[in-house]
Amino acid sequence: MEKLRVSDACIGCGLCVAQNEKYFEFNDEGFSKVKQEDVEENDKEELLNIVESCPAQAITIEEEK
């Protein structure tokens, strides 16, 4: 299963949260964090688009180790 991650590089622009509240939310400091880390296959294409659109390149999808 693939896992969604948001790194410390996040600048808190909110683009990911605005595009998908199922997977992303804001933490107490106003930065994005993962709400649901397990990537569902039917959501993967949308999430890949969000990964590409992140201005800080802070979002990744990784294979579970």
CATH number of 2-63: 3.30.70.20
7's tokens: 């790194």
pLDDT single digits (tens) 19-34:
999 999 999 999 999 9
Q: What pTM was computed for the model?
A: 0.93
Percent of the chain whose predicted confidence (pLDDT) is above 90 = 97
